[in-house]
């Protein structure tokens, strides 16, 4: 048996055990990703670093999963040395798996700030430009948050056309149509949520009501237009082809 000290408290440990095993047995929290009790520890993730205080009082960070216990060992699981080692380990892991929710959640649990999560947006501004210069809605803008630029919605300006999502080169903007409602969003920010118009011919939702009204208001008048019909593109083409066919037959 060996007696070791962890965070100022003494614990008995068996020879051959690791510091991590002792901490786990006594419910002392330390982050790990690569450790599994059925396998020999490898120290790959470097998250289980603790501060080892030498007899001279000098401290160093060591991996608890591969460190064997020995008599008189003094361990600290908190403090600047541990925080620096954990932060470095978390950031190294995040470089290899930037989209990992598990790494970010674990880092937050242990008070390690990894900065804003990636959102897939490359800040090309295509969405902002097309919405303003082509569509004319101006529903998106660039905003700076904590030193980082983000594409954010302009409240109430979206008409639900989905052009921004279609043009986005990284699919950072998404469109979801569900039960007659279209939602357009980037990250957790909702750009627009709109009721959809149903085709007068087939009955399927095909565009947002706000977009259809916007298109009707901004369309150039046509001398042959008798009345407004709200058809989906498929039905509009079918009906247009039928009209053309009927005109040809009439001309014969």
**In this structure, are 56 and 154 located in the same domain?**
no
């003494």: which residue's tokens?
Answer: 10
Domain-embedded: residue 23: yes
Higher pLDDT among residues 238 and 87, named by residue: 87
> Which residues fall within 8 angstroms of residue 239, CB to CB, at 6 or more apart?
201, 231
| End-to-end CA separation in angstroms for the chain | 106
Tokens of 202: 């087939």
Which tens digits make up the pLDDT trace of 41-71? 999 999 999 999 887 778 899 999 999 999 9
Question: Which ranges of 4-150 does DSSP label H, i.e. alpha helix?
Answer: 19-25, 80-96, 101-109, 126-129
Six token digits for residue 206? 């095909």
Q: Would the pLDDT of 17 be above 60? A: yes
- Does 144 share its domain with 180? yes
Q: Is residue 239 part of a domain?
A: no
Q: How many domains does the chain have?
A: 2
Cβ atoms of 5 and 74 within 8 Å: the answer is yes
pLDDT digits (tens, 9 = 90+) for 89-110: 999 999 999 878 899 999 999 9
Let me know whether 103 and 150 are in one domain.
Answer: no
Q: Edge-to-edge, what's the strand order for the sheet holding 173-178?
A: 173-178, 181-186, 189-198, 205-208
Q: Cα(112)–Cα(106) distance, rounded to whole angstroms?
A: 9
Say what angle helices 80-96 and 101-109 make with each other, to 10 degrees: 170
User: Could you tell me the CA-to-CA distances from 191 to 1, 174, 186, 207, 235 in Å, in that order?
Assistant: 63, 10, 7, 16, 29
CA 43 to chain centre: 28
Given a cut of 50, whether residue 226 has pLDDT beyond it is: no
In a domain, 114, yes or no: no
**DSSP character string of 107-124:** HHHTT----SPP-S----
Residues 156 and 105 in one domain: no
pLDDT of residue 141 exceeding 90: yes
Range of the domain at 148: 126-227
CA-CA-CA-CA torsion sign (241, 243, 246, 252):
negative
- The alpha-carbon radius of gyration of the chain (Å, integer) is 31
Per the domain annotation, does 164 fall within a domain? yes
94 and 130 together in one domain: no
The yes-or-no verdict on residue 82 having pLDDT over 80 is yes
What tokens appear for 15 in the block? 């020879």
Nearby residues of 128 by Cβ (< 8 Å), 6 or more positions away: 140, 141, 142, 151
118 in a structural domain: no
This prediction has a pTM of 0.62
- Residue 248 is assigned to a structural domain of this protein: no
Same domain as 219, residue 159: yes
Task: Report pLDDT digits (tens) over 34-44.
Answer: 999 899 999 99
Say which CATH number the domain at 45 has. Answer: 3.10.20.740
């Amino acid at each position: 048996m060996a007696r070791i000290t962890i965070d100022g408290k003494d614990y008995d440990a068996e020879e051959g055990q690791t510091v991590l095993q002792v901490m786990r047995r006594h419910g002392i929290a330390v982050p790990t990703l690569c450790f599994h009790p059925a396998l020999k520890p490898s120290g790959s993730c470097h998250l289980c670093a603790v501060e080892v205080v030498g007899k001279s009082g000098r401290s160093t960070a060591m991996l608890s999963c591969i460190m064997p216990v020995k008599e008189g060992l003094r361990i600290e699981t908190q403090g600047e040395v541990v925080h620096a080692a954990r932060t470095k380990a978390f950031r190294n892991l995040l470089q290899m798996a930037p989209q990992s929710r598990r790494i970010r959640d674990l880092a937050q649990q242990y008070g390690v700030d990894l900065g804003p999560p990636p959102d897939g947006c490359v800040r090309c501004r295509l969405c902002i430009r097309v919405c303003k210069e082509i569509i004319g809605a101006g529903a998106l803008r660039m905003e700076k948050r904590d030193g980082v630029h983000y594409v954010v919605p302009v409240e109430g300006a979206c008409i639900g056309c989905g052009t921004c999502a279609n043009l986005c080169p990284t699919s950072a903007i998404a469109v979801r149509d569900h039960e007659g409602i279209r939602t357009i969003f980037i990250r957790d920010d909702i750009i627009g949520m709109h009721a959809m118009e149903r085709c007068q011919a087939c009955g399927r939702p095909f565009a947002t009501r706000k977009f259809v009204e916007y298109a009707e208001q901004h369309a150039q008048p046509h001398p042959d237009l008798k009345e407004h019909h709200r058809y989906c593109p498929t039905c509009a083409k079918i009906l247009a082809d039928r009209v053309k066919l009927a005109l040809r037959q009439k001309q014969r």
